[in-house]
Amino acid sequence: MTQNAPNSPAARDIASHLHPFTNLAAHPDKGPHIISQGDGIYVHDDDGKKFIEGLSGLWCAALGFSEPRLVEAATRQMQALPFYHNFAHKAVEPAIELADYLVKHAPVPMSKVFFTNSGSEANDTQVKLVWYYNNILGRPEKKKIIARHGAYHGITVAAASLTGLQYAHNAFDVPINNILHTDCPHFYKYGQEGESEEAYATRLAANLEELIMREGPDTVAAFIAEPFLGAGGVIEPPKGYFEKIQPLLEQHDILFIVDEVISGFYRTGNRFATQTYGLKPDLMTMAKQLSAAYLPIGAVMMNEKIHEVLVEGSRKYGVFGTGFTYSGHPVPAAVALETQKIYDERDIGTHVKSVSIRFQQRLKVLGDHPLVGEVRGLGLIGAVELVADKPARRNFDPKQAVGAYAVDRAMEHGLIVRGLVNDTVAFCPPLIITDAQIDDMFNIFERALEDTSGFVDDL
Protein backbone atom coordinates (compact mmCIF):
# COMPACT_ATOMS: atom_id res chain seq x y z
CA MET A 1 0.00 0.00 0.00
CA THR A 2 2.61 2.50 -1.09
CA GLN A 3 0.84 5.86 -1.09
CA ASN A 4 3.82 8.09 -1.79
CA ALA A 5 4.37 6.96 -5.38
CA PRO A 6 2.53 9.58 -7.48
CA ASN A 7 0.89 7.07 -9.81
CA SER A 8 0.28 4.25 -7.33
CA PRO A 9 -3.24 2.83 -6.97
CA ALA A 10 -3.44 4.36 -3.50
CA ALA A 11 -2.46 7.82 -4.75
CA ARG A 12 -4.95 7.60 -7.61
CA ASP A 13 -7.65 6.45 -5.20
CA ILE A 14 -7.05 9.50 -2.99
CA ALA A 15 -7.05 11.74 -6.05
CA SER A 16 -10.23 10.50 -7.70
CA HIS A 17 -12.38 8.15 -5.60
CA LEU A 18 -15.06 9.33 -3.15
CA HIS A 19 -15.61 6.44 -0.72
CA PRO A 20 -18.92 5.44 0.85
CA PHE A 21 -19.13 5.25 4.66
CA THR A 22 -15.63 6.69 5.05
CA ASN A 23 -14.21 9.63 6.98
CA LEU A 24 -13.48 11.85 4.00
CA ALA A 25 -11.32 14.24 6.00
CA ALA A 26 -9.09 11.41 7.23
CA HIS A 27 -8.86 9.53 3.95
CA PRO A 28 -5.99 11.47 2.32
CA ASP A 29 -3.77 10.66 5.31
CA LYS A 30 -5.03 7.17 6.05
CA GLY A 31 -5.31 6.09 2.43
CA PRO A 32 -7.12 3.04 1.08
CA HIS A 33 -6.59 -0.54 2.18
CA ILE A 34 -6.69 -2.22 -1.21
CA ILE A 35 -8.05 -5.77 -1.29
CA SER A 36 -6.90 -7.58 -4.40
CA GLN A 37 -7.76 -11.28 -4.12
CA GLY A 38 -10.11 -13.71 -2.40
CA ASP A 39 -9.88 -17.38 -1.48
CA GLY A 40 -12.64 -19.09 0.50
CA ILE A 41 -13.21 -17.13 3.72
CA TYR A 42 -9.95 -15.22 3.17
CA VAL A 43 -9.02 -12.06 1.30
CA HIS A 44 -5.55 -10.72 0.45
CA ASP A 45 -4.48 -7.10 0.17
CA ASP A 46 -2.15 -5.64 -2.43
CA ASP A 47 0.81 -6.25 -0.12
CA GLY A 48 -0.03 -9.95 -0.09
CA LYS A 49 -1.25 -10.03 3.53
CA LYS A 50 -3.98 -12.59 4.20
CA PHE A 51 -7.06 -11.90 6.33
CA ILE A 52 -10.03 -13.88 7.58
CA GLU A 53 -12.99 -11.87 6.31
CA GLY A 54 -15.01 -11.99 9.50
CA LEU A 55 -17.91 -9.89 8.20
CA SER A 56 -18.39 -11.57 4.80
CA GLY A 57 -17.40 -8.24 3.23
CA LEU A 58 -20.54 -6.36 4.25
CA TRP A 59 -22.65 -9.19 5.71
CA CYS A 60 -23.02 -10.65 2.23
CA ALA A 61 -20.31 -12.98 0.79
CA ALA A 62 -22.08 -16.11 2.02
CA LEU A 63 -20.08 -18.54 -0.13
CA GLY A 64 -16.76 -16.82 0.39
CA PHE A 65 -14.63 -15.18 -2.26
CA SER A 66 -13.73 -17.92 -4.74
CA GLU A 67 -16.80 -19.99 -5.65
CA PRO A 68 -16.18 -21.13 -9.26
CA ARG A 69 -19.78 -22.10 -9.96
CA LEU A 70 -20.92 -18.49 -9.54
CA VAL A 71 -18.21 -17.26 -11.89
CA GLU A 72 -19.27 -19.89 -14.41
CA ALA A 73 -22.95 -18.98 -14.05
CA ALA A 74 -22.15 -15.34 -14.76
CA THR A 75 -19.96 -16.28 -17.73
CA ARG A 76 -22.60 -18.54 -19.28
CA GLN A 77 -25.24 -15.85 -19.00
CA MET A 78 -22.93 -13.13 -20.32
CA GLN A 79 -22.29 -15.26 -23.37
CA ALA A 80 -25.96 -16.06 -23.93
CA LEU A 81 -27.55 -12.67 -23.15
CA PRO A 82 -25.44 -10.09 -21.31
CA PHE A 83 -28.35 -7.71 -20.80
CA TYR A 84 -32.00 -7.31 -21.42
CA HIS A 85 -34.72 -5.54 -19.49
CA ASN A 86 -38.07 -6.60 -18.02
CA PHE A 87 -40.10 -3.48 -18.90
CA ALA A 88 -43.26 -3.50 -21.05
CA HIS A 89 -43.97 -7.25 -20.87
CA LYS A 90 -40.41 -8.26 -21.83
CA ALA A 91 -38.76 -10.95 -19.73
CA VAL A 92 -35.52 -12.87 -19.31
CA GLU A 93 -35.40 -16.49 -18.21
CA PRO A 94 -33.05 -16.09 -15.21
CA ALA A 95 -35.38 -13.52 -13.64
CA ILE A 96 -38.38 -15.77 -14.28
CA GLU A 97 -36.62 -18.78 -12.74
CA LEU A 98 -35.37 -16.82 -9.74
CA ALA A 99 -38.78 -15.27 -9.02
CA ASP A 100 -40.42 -18.68 -9.30
CA TYR A 101 -37.85 -20.19 -6.92
CA LEU A 102 -38.26 -17.44 -4.31
CA VAL A 103 -42.06 -17.60 -4.32
CA LYS A 104 -41.98 -21.39 -3.98
CA HIS A 105 -39.51 -21.19 -1.08
CA ALA A 106 -41.06 -18.22 0.70
CA PRO A 107 -41.45 -18.65 4.46
CA VAL A 108 -45.09 -17.55 4.29
CA PRO A 109 -47.42 -17.51 1.27
CA MET A 110 -46.16 -14.96 -1.25
CA SER A 111 -47.28 -14.09 -4.75
CA LYS A 112 -44.81 -11.95 -6.70
CA VAL A 113 -41.18 -10.80 -6.70
CA PHE A 114 -40.02 -7.35 -7.85
CA PHE A 115 -36.29 -7.11 -8.53
CA THR A 116 -33.97 -4.25 -7.62
CA ASN A 117 -30.20 -3.82 -7.53
CA SER A 118 -29.70 -3.49 -3.77
CA GLY A 119 -31.39 -3.66 -0.40
CA SER A 120 -31.60 0.13 -0.32
CA GLU A 121 -33.48 0.19 -3.62
CA ALA A 122 -35.72 -2.60 -2.39
CA ASN A 123 -36.69 -0.68 0.74
CA ASP A 124 -37.18 2.51 -1.27
CA THR A 125 -39.54 0.45 -3.40
CA GLN A 126 -41.33 -0.80 -0.29
CA VAL A 127 -42.15 2.80 0.64
CA LYS A 128 -43.51 3.50 -2.84
CA LEU A 129 -45.55 0.30 -2.85
CA VAL A 130 -47.12 1.09 0.53
CA TRP A 131 -48.08 4.57 -0.61
CA TYR A 132 -49.38 3.32 -3.97
CA TYR A 133 -51.35 0.52 -2.28
CA ASN A 134 -53.22 2.93 -0.03
CA ASN A 135 -53.84 5.44 -2.80
CA ILE A 136 -55.42 2.73 -4.93
CA LEU A 137 -57.56 1.66 -1.97
CA GLY A 138 -58.78 5.25 -1.62
CA ARG A 139 -56.94 5.87 1.66
CA PRO A 140 -54.68 8.81 0.82
CA GLU A 141 -54.14 9.67 4.49
CA LYS A 142 -52.86 6.19 5.40
CA LYS A 143 -49.21 6.78 4.47
CA LYS A 144 -47.05 6.79 7.59
CA ILE A 145 -44.46 4.05 7.96
CA ILE A 146 -43.03 3.19 11.36
CA ALA A 147 -39.45 1.98 11.62
CA ARG A 148 -37.29 1.65 14.73
CA HIS A 149 -34.43 3.56 16.27
CA GLY A 150 -31.23 1.59 15.75
CA ALA A 151 -32.48 -0.08 12.57
CA TYR A 152 -30.65 -0.08 9.27
CA HIS A 153 -32.77 -0.26 6.12
CA GLY A 154 -30.48 1.30 3.53
CA ILE A 155 -29.17 4.65 2.44
CA THR A 156 -31.20 5.98 -0.49
CA VAL A 157 -33.52 8.86 0.42
CA ALA A 158 -36.52 6.84 1.58
CA ALA A 159 -34.46 3.92 2.89
CA ALA A 160 -32.17 6.26 4.84
CA SER A 161 -35.30 7.79 6.33
CA LEU A 162 -36.36 4.35 7.55
CA THR A 163 -32.90 3.78 8.97
CA GLY A 164 -32.83 4.78 12.62
CA LEU A 165 -29.11 5.56 12.96
CA GLN A 166 -27.94 9.16 13.29
CA TYR A 167 -24.97 8.91 10.92
CA ALA A 168 -27.38 8.14 8.08
CA HIS A 169 -29.29 11.36 8.77
CA ASN A 170 -26.60 13.93 9.54
CA ALA A 171 -26.92 16.89 7.09
CA PHE A 172 -28.84 14.80 4.50
CA ASP A 173 -32.29 16.28 5.24
CA VAL A 174 -33.77 12.93 6.17
CA PRO A 175 -36.05 11.48 7.46
CA ILE A 176 -38.60 12.59 4.90
CA ASN A 177 -42.26 13.12 5.80
CA ASN A 178 -44.42 10.17 6.78
CA ILE A 179 -41.54 8.18 8.30
CA LEU A 180 -41.74 7.65 12.08
CA HIS A 181 -39.54 5.78 14.54
CA THR A 182 -40.38 3.77 17.63
CA ASP A 183 -38.19 2.20 20.32
CA CYS A 184 -34.95 0.37 19.67
CA PRO A 185 -35.59 -3.16 21.03
CA HIS A 186 -32.30 -3.42 22.93
CA PHE A 187 -32.98 -4.83 26.39
CA TYR A 188 -29.35 -4.51 27.59
CA LYS A 189 -29.33 -0.78 26.93
CA TYR A 190 -32.93 0.28 27.49
CA GLY A 191 -34.43 -2.28 29.86
CA GLN A 192 -35.28 -0.81 33.26
CA GLU A 193 -33.90 -2.08 36.55
CA GLY A 194 -35.86 -5.11 37.67
CA GLU A 195 -37.70 -5.35 34.35
CA SER A 196 -37.79 -8.76 32.64
CA GLU A 197 -37.33 -9.14 28.89
CA GLU A 198 -40.99 -10.07 28.58
CA ALA A 199 -42.05 -6.96 30.50
CA TYR A 200 -39.72 -4.86 28.35
CA ALA A 201 -41.32 -6.30 25.20
CA THR A 202 -44.75 -5.48 26.64
CA ARG A 203 -43.63 -1.89 27.27
CA LEU A 204 -42.30 -1.54 23.71
CA ALA A 205 -45.54 -2.89 22.26
CA ALA A 206 -47.51 -0.44 24.42
CA ASN A 207 -45.29 2.42 23.21
CA LEU A 208 -45.88 1.37 19.61
CA GLU A 209 -49.64 1.25 20.14
CA GLU A 210 -49.51 4.67 21.80
CA LEU A 211 -47.66 6.04 18.76
CA ILE A 212 -50.21 4.49 16.40
CA MET A 213 -53.12 5.92 18.36
CA ARG A 214 -51.49 9.35 18.70
CA GLU A 215 -50.87 9.56 14.95
CA GLY A 216 -54.22 7.95 14.16
CA PRO A 217 -54.51 4.34 12.89
CA ASP A 218 -56.09 5.66 9.70
CA THR A 219 -52.79 7.42 8.92
CA VAL A 220 -50.37 4.56 9.70
CA ALA A 221 -49.75 2.32 6.71
CA ALA A 222 -46.86 -0.01 7.58
CA PHE A 223 -44.33 -1.17 10.14
CA ILE A 224 -40.87 -2.27 8.96
CA ALA A 225 -38.47 -4.37 11.01
CA GLU A 226 -35.37 -6.48 10.66
CA PRO A 227 -35.89 -9.79 12.48
CA PHE A 228 -32.81 -8.76 14.47
CA LEU A 229 -31.07 -5.41 14.15
CA GLY A 230 -28.02 -5.94 11.93
CA ALA A 231 -25.86 -2.87 11.36
CA GLY A 232 -27.45 -1.36 14.46
CA GLY A 233 -25.48 -3.80 16.60
CA VAL A 234 -26.69 -7.40 16.00
CA ILE A 235 -29.52 -6.97 18.50
CA GLU A 236 -32.08 -9.74 18.95
CA PRO A 237 -35.59 -8.70 19.97
CA PRO A 238 -36.56 -9.24 23.61
CA LYS A 239 -38.58 -12.34 24.40
CA GLY A 240 -42.17 -12.08 23.20
CA TYR A 241 -41.53 -8.91 21.19
CA PHE A 242 -42.92 -9.89 17.79
CA GLU A 243 -45.68 -11.96 19.40
CA LYS A 244 -46.91 -8.72 20.96
CA ILE A 245 -46.25 -6.46 17.95
CA GLN A 246 -47.89 -8.49 15.18
CA PRO A 247 -51.42 -8.52 16.64
CA LEU A 248 -51.28 -4.71 16.91
CA LEU A 249 -50.48 -4.46 13.21
CA GLU A 250 -53.34 -6.78 12.30
CA GLN A 251 -55.74 -4.91 14.58
CA HIS A 252 -55.02 -1.56 12.91
CA ASP A 253 -54.67 -2.85 9.31
CA ILE A 254 -50.97 -1.96 9.19
CA LEU A 255 -48.80 -3.81 6.68
CA PHE A 256 -45.80 -5.68 8.07
CA ILE A 257 -42.55 -5.35 6.09
CA VAL A 258 -39.77 -7.73 7.14
CA ASP A 259 -36.29 -6.64 6.07
CA GLU A 260 -34.27 -9.83 5.49
CA VAL A 261 -31.33 -8.13 3.74
CA ILE A 262 -28.80 -9.31 6.37
CA SER A 263 -30.76 -12.12 8.00
CA GLY A 264 -31.97 -13.91 4.87
CA PHE A 265 -30.53 -17.03 3.23
CA TYR A 266 -29.40 -19.15 6.15
CA ARG A 267 -27.63 -16.60 8.34
CA THR A 268 -29.66 -17.93 11.29
CA GLY A 269 -29.64 -21.52 10.01
CA ASN A 270 -33.11 -21.23 8.46
CA ARG A 271 -33.55 -19.96 4.93
CA PHE A 272 -35.15 -16.83 6.36
CA ALA A 273 -35.13 -15.38 9.86
CA THR A 274 -38.88 -14.94 9.33
CA GLN A 275 -39.00 -18.67 10.08
CA THR A 276 -36.63 -18.34 13.03
CA TYR A 277 -38.92 -15.80 14.73
CA GLY A 278 -42.31 -16.99 13.45
CA LEU A 279 -43.09 -13.77 11.55
CA LYS A 280 -45.99 -13.19 9.16
CA PRO A 281 -44.95 -10.42 6.77
CA ASP A 282 -47.03 -8.93 3.99
CA LEU A 283 -43.86 -7.77 2.23
CA MET A 284 -40.24 -8.92 2.44
CA THR A 285 -36.97 -7.26 1.46
CA MET A 286 -33.91 -9.27 0.44
CA ALA A 287 -30.47 -8.72 -1.12
CA LYS A 288 -26.87 -9.49 -0.01
CA GLN A 289 -26.77 -13.30 0.38
CA LEU A 290 -29.40 -13.66 -2.37
CA SER A 291 -26.47 -13.80 -4.81
CA ALA A 292 -23.78 -14.42 -2.18
CA ALA A 293 -22.78 -10.83 -3.17
CA TYR A 294 -21.11 -11.97 -6.40
CA LEU A 295 -23.28 -9.52 -8.35
CA PRO A 296 -25.65 -6.79 -7.11
CA ILE A 297 -29.29 -7.81 -6.83
CA GLY A 298 -32.13 -7.14 -4.41
CA ALA A 299 -35.80 -8.01 -4.30
CA VAL A 300 -39.18 -7.21 -2.83
CA MET A 301 -41.54 -10.11 -2.27
CA MET A 302 -45.24 -9.46 -1.69
CA ASN A 303 -48.34 -11.45 -0.85
CA GLU A 304 -51.36 -11.70 -3.09
CA LYS A 305 -53.31 -9.10 -1.10
CA ILE A 306 -50.74 -6.49 -2.12
CA HIS A 307 -50.46 -7.76 -5.68
CA GLU A 308 -54.20 -7.61 -6.29
CA VAL A 309 -54.22 -3.92 -5.38
CA LEU A 310 -51.26 -3.22 -7.70
CA VAL A 311 -53.19 -4.86 -10.53
CA GLU A 312 -56.17 -2.66 -9.71
CA GLY A 313 -53.83 0.32 -9.98
CA SER A 314 -52.98 -0.66 -13.54
CA ARG A 315 -56.66 -0.93 -14.35
CA LYS A 316 -56.92 2.70 -13.30
CA TYR A 317 -53.61 4.15 -14.50
CA GLY A 318 -52.25 1.69 -17.04
CA VAL A 319 -48.50 1.23 -16.62
CA PHE A 320 -47.21 0.37 -13.15
CA GLY A 321 -44.77 3.24 -13.26
CA THR A 322 -41.80 2.11 -11.22
CA GLY A 323 -38.71 -0.03 -11.75
CA PHE A 324 -35.05 0.15 -12.74
CA THR A 325 -33.09 -0.37 -15.94
CA TYR A 326 -31.40 -3.32 -14.27
CA SER A 327 -34.45 -4.79 -12.49
CA GLY A 328 -34.09 -8.52 -13.03
CA HIS A 329 -30.85 -8.10 -15.01
CA PRO A 330 -30.17 -11.57 -16.44
CA VAL A 331 -26.59 -11.91 -15.18
CA PRO A 332 -27.14 -11.14 -11.47
CA ALA A 333 -30.36 -13.17 -11.63
CA ALA A 334 -28.47 -16.16 -13.06
CA VAL A 335 -25.84 -15.86 -10.33
CA ALA A 336 -28.50 -15.57 -7.61
CA LEU A 337 -30.29 -18.64 -8.97
CA GLU A 338 -27.03 -20.62 -8.98
CA THR A 339 -26.42 -19.42 -5.42
CA GLN A 340 -29.74 -20.92 -4.35
CA LYS A 341 -28.87 -24.20 -6.06
CA ILE A 342 -25.57 -24.33 -4.17
CA TYR A 343 -27.33 -23.62 -0.87
CA ASP A 344 -29.73 -26.49 -1.58
CA GLU A 345 -27.20 -29.02 -2.91
CA ARG A 346 -24.77 -28.42 -0.04
CA ASP A 347 -27.54 -28.25 2.56
CA ILE A 348 -26.01 -25.01 3.77
CA GLY A 349 -28.65 -24.57 6.47
CA THR A 350 -27.58 -27.80 8.19
CA HIS A 351 -23.93 -26.74 7.94
CA VAL A 352 -24.72 -23.34 9.48
CA LYS A 353 -26.63 -24.95 12.35
CA SER A 354 -23.65 -27.22 12.98
CA VAL A 355 -20.86 -24.63 12.96
CA SER A 356 -23.05 -22.09 14.77
CA ILE A 357 -22.61 -24.18 17.91
CA ARG A 358 -18.86 -23.51 17.92
CA PHE A 359 -19.34 -19.91 16.77
CA GLN A 360 -21.72 -19.10 19.62
CA GLN A 361 -19.55 -20.94 22.17
CA ARG A 362 -16.50 -18.89 21.25
CA LEU A 363 -18.54 -15.69 21.07
CA LYS A 364 -20.02 -16.17 24.54
CA VAL A 365 -16.56 -16.70 26.09
CA LEU A 366 -15.75 -13.12 25.12
CA GLY A 367 -18.40 -12.00 27.58
CA ASP A 368 -16.01 -12.83 30.43
CA HIS A 369 -13.55 -10.16 29.31
CA PRO A 370 -13.60 -7.03 31.49
CA LEU A 371 -14.08 -4.76 28.47
CA VAL A 372 -17.07 -6.66 27.08
CA GLY A 373 -20.40 -5.42 28.38
CA GLU A 374 -22.67 -7.62 26.30
CA VAL A 375 -22.29 -10.50 23.85
CA ARG A 376 -25.08 -10.86 21.29
CA GLY A 377 -25.67 -13.33 18.52
CA LEU A 378 -27.53 -16.19 16.88
CA GLY A 379 -26.65 -18.52 14.06
CA LEU A 380 -23.52 -17.30 12.29
CA ILE A 381 -23.75 -13.69 13.34
CA GLY A 382 -22.72 -11.98 16.53
CA ALA A 383 -21.31 -8.91 18.23
CA VAL A 384 -19.59 -7.74 21.38
CA GLU A 385 -20.18 -4.32 22.90
CA LEU A 386 -17.14 -2.82 24.61
CA VAL A 387 -17.85 -0.72 27.70
CA ALA A 388 -15.97 1.56 30.09
CA ASP A 389 -17.85 0.32 33.16
CA LYS A 390 -19.17 -3.22 32.95
CA PRO A 391 -21.42 -3.26 36.07
CA ALA A 392 -22.91 0.12 35.17
CA ARG A 393 -23.23 -0.76 31.45
CA ARG A 394 -21.59 2.56 30.67
CA ASN A 395 -20.15 3.09 27.20
CA PHE A 396 -16.86 4.77 26.41
CA ASP A 397 -16.81 8.35 25.18
CA PRO A 398 -17.20 7.97 21.40
CA LYS A 399 -14.20 10.27 20.89
CA GLN A 400 -11.97 7.63 22.46
CA ALA A 401 -12.75 5.29 19.51
CA VAL A 402 -12.18 2.14 21.55
CA GLY A 403 -14.17 -0.10 19.21
CA ALA A 404 -12.32 1.28 16.21
CA TYR A 405 -9.01 0.53 17.93
CA ALA A 406 -10.08 -3.10 18.51
CA VAL A 407 -11.06 -3.43 14.85
CA ASP A 408 -7.69 -2.01 13.74
CA ARG A 409 -5.78 -4.37 16.03
CA ALA A 410 -7.77 -7.34 14.72
CA MET A 411 -6.79 -6.34 11.20
CA GLU A 412 -3.13 -6.11 12.19
CA HIS A 413 -3.41 -9.69 13.42
CA GLY A 414 -5.15 -10.90 10.24
CA LEU A 415 -8.90 -10.53 10.83
CA ILE A 416 -11.35 -8.11 9.26
CA VAL A 417 -14.37 -7.32 11.43
CA ARG A 418 -16.56 -4.22 11.61
CA GLY A 419 -17.03 -1.57 14.24
CA LEU A 420 -20.61 -0.39 14.81
CA VAL A 421 -22.26 2.16 17.11
CA ASN A 422 -21.47 2.11 20.85
CA ASP A 423 -18.06 0.45 20.34
CA THR A 424 -19.74 -2.71 19.12
CA VAL A 425 -17.66 -5.11 17.05
CA ALA A 426 -19.58 -7.41 14.71
CA PHE A 427 -18.83 -10.88 13.31
CA CYS A 428 -20.64 -12.33 10.31
CA PRO A 429 -18.32 -14.80 8.54
CA PRO A 430 -19.08 -16.59 5.27
CA LEU A 431 -21.50 -19.47 5.74
CA ILE A 432 -18.86 -21.91 4.49
CA ILE A 433 -16.61 -21.34 7.52
CA THR A 434 -15.44 -24.42 9.45
CA ASP A 435 -15.10 -25.02 13.18
CA ALA A 436 -11.30 -24.74 12.90
CA GLN A 437 -11.58 -21.43 11.05
CA ILE A 438 -14.02 -20.16 13.68
CA ASP A 439 -11.39 -20.90 16.32
CA ASP A 440 -8.77 -19.07 14.25
CA MET A 441 -11.07 -16.06 13.95
CA PHE A 442 -11.80 -15.79 17.66
CA ASN A 443 -8.19 -16.52 18.64
CA ILE A 444 -7.17 -13.49 16.60
CA PHE A 445 -9.88 -11.33 18.10
CA GLU A 446 -8.90 -12.32 21.63
CA ARG A 447 -5.39 -11.04 20.88
CA ALA A 448 -6.89 -7.80 19.57
CA LEU A 449 -9.00 -7.50 22.72
CA GLU A 450 -5.91 -7.81 24.90
CA ASP A 451 -4.23 -5.09 22.83
CA THR A 452 -7.32 -2.96 23.40
CA SER A 453 -7.11 -3.48 27.16
CA GLY A 454 -3.64 -1.95 27.08
CA PHE A 455 -4.92 0.94 24.98
CA VAL A 456 -7.75 1.60 27.46
CA ASP A 457 -5.35 1.48 30.40
CA ASP A 458 -3.39 4.31 28.81
CA LEU A 459 -6.40 6.54 28.19
Instruction: Give yes or no for a cis peptide into 175 (omega within 30° of 0).
Output: yes
Residue 296 shares a structural domain with residue 382: no
Question: Is 432 part of any domain?
Answer: yes
Percent of the chain with pLDDT over 90: 98
| Under 8 Å between Cβ of 425 and 383 | yes
Mean pLDDT of 102-108: 98
Asked whether residue 189 carries a pLDDT value surpassing 60, the answer given is: yes
Residue 341 shares a structural domain with residue 410: no
The predicted model scores a pTM of 0.96
Question: Is 7 part of any domain?
Answer: no
Residue 304 shares a structural domain with residue 403: no
Asked whether residue 1 carries a pLDDT value surpassing 50, the answer given is: no
| Under 8 Å between Cβ of 259 and 298 | no
Residue 42 shares a structural domain with residue 139: no
Question: Is 14 part of any domain?
Answer: no
In this prediction, residue 459 has a pLDDT band, given cuts at 50, 70 and 90, of confident
Residue 314 shares a structural domain with residue 363: no
Q: Give me the pLDDT at residue 5, please.
A: 79
Question: Is 16 part of any domain?
Answer: no
The span from the CA of 114 to the CA of 133, in Å, is 15
Worst-scoring range by mean pLDDT, 2-16, 260-274, 349-363?
A: 2-16
Asked whether residue 3 carries a pLDDT value surpassing 70, the answer given is: no
Residue 56 shares a structural domain with residue 155: no
Domain end (from 329, 345, 361) = 345
The span from the CA of 156 to the CA of 162, in Å, is 10
Mean pLDDT of 183-195: 97
Looking at the structure of the chain, the number of domains it has is 2
Question: Is 4 part of any domain?
Answer: no
Q: In which domain, by residue range, is 192 found?
A: 70-345
What is the average pLDDT value for the chain, to the nearest integer?
97
pLDDT in tens, 306-342: 999 999 999 999 999 999 999 999 999 999 999 999 9
pLDDT in tens, 203-225: 999 999 999 999 999 999 999 99
Q: How far is CA 388 from CA 42, 377, 453, in A?
A: 32, 21, 11
Residue 334 shares a structural domain with residue 385: no
Question: Is 9 part of any domain?
Answer: no
Q: Give me the pLDDT at residue 80, please.
A: 98
| Under 8 Å between Cβ of 194 and 185 | no
Distant-in-sequence, close-in-space partners of 377: CB < 8 Å, separation ≥ 6: 234, 359, 360, 363, 383, 427
Mean pLDDT of 155-162: 98
Residue 316 shares a structural domain with residue 188: yes
Q: What is the rounded end-to-end Cα distance, in angstroms, of the chain? A: 30
CATH of residue 41: 3.90.1150.10
Tell the burial category of 214 from Cβ atoms under 10 Å away from its Cβ (0-12, 13-18, 19+): exposed
Question: Is 232 part of any domain?
Answer: yes
Asked whether residue 448 carries a pLDDT value surpassing 70, the answer given is: yes
Sort strands 255-259 and 283-286 into parallel, antiparallel or unpaired. Answer: parallel
Q: Name the CA radius of gyration of the chain, rounded.
A: 22
Domain end (from 299, 324, 345) = 345
Residue 147 shares a structural domain with residue 269: yes
Question: Is 22 part of any domain?
Answer: no
Q: Give me the pLDDT at residue 277, please.
A: 98
Residue 402 shares a structural domain with residue 306: no
For residue 416, what are the β-bridge partners?
Answer: 53
Asked whether residue 446 carries a pLDDT value surpassing 50, the answer given is: yes
pLDDT in tens, 27-69: 999 999 999 999 999 999 999 999 999 999 999 999 999 999 9
Q: Give me the pLDDT at residue 361, please.
A: 98
pLDDT in tens, 347-395: 999 999 999 999 999 999 999 999 999 999 999 999 999 999 999 999 9
| Under 8 Å between Cβ of 162 and 147 | yes
CATH of residue 250: 3.40.640.10
Domain end (from 315, 345, 375) = 345
Residue 329 shares a structural domain with residue 353: no
pLDDT in tens, 422-439: 999 999 999 999 999 999
Residue 61 shares a structural domain with residue 96: no
